[in-house]
Chain A
């Protein structure tokens, strides 16, 4: 069963607006969460992460929010730029030994 889920396969946002990508998980043992960005024909690249002891982590235009009670995390990109158009994967880990990935959300930022 999929332990990490991204229920929105695609998302379109106007340039300059906020992009919100969502991710849900089922295993309460996950203690580390990551977001990856993937361009076509390239491997995913690490974007931002958050430990389960935090509820927010910010890096420039990217902010990840973690709601442990709801087993939900989200990635906010603001302002969105056309170069942000890519597929975004969330991943969850237990002590860094195994990583469980979501199925990805394709973000399109419209100029």
Chain B
């Protein structure tokens, strides 16, 4: 089955620093990847849609200058949290839909837990 990996799985950083999270589709090409943030009551919030070779589409209320998304290849999308603050501490999850998968099929990464001190 298709596998999506995320790196790192857990990161702790100081306030004001930037953190990059990678999302990789290991055995398929993903033209579209999605970035989610998980809130305390366990709902996932879609942050942005990342399209290979073009700018990401951000959901309303998500600061594009703070959450930089790059989808430079068909197997890699990165989310950079710039000037992180404690309120950015959360669980970030990516998912990918490949060109060969059905429209509704999404392969999720295991998530990255970010803790900002």
Contact = CB atoms under 8 A, between A and B. Distances in A.
Given A1-B3, A97-B113, A98-B110, A106 B104 contact: yes
A86 to B, nearest CB: 9
B1 to A, nearest CB: 4
Nearest to B106: A104
B76 interface: no
Contacts of A36: 44
Contact of A100 (B10, B59, B108): B108
A99 interface: yes
B102 interface: yes
A104 B101 CA distance: 12
A100 B110 contact: yes
User: How extensive is the interface on chain B, given as a class?
Assistant: 20 to 34
Contacts of B42: 34, 46, 49
A103 B105 contact: yes
Contact of A9 (B34, B44, B46, B102): B102
User: How extensive is the interface on chain A, given as a class?
Assistant: 20 to 34
Nearest to B9: A98
A89 B45 CA distance: 14
B100 interface: no
Given A99-B110, A104-B104, A43 B1 contact: no
Contacts of B108: 89, 91, 99-101
A9 B105 CA distance: 7
A12 interface: no
Q: Which 5 A-B pairs have the closest CB atoms?
A: A43-B46, A101-B108, A2-B1, A46-B42, A98-B110
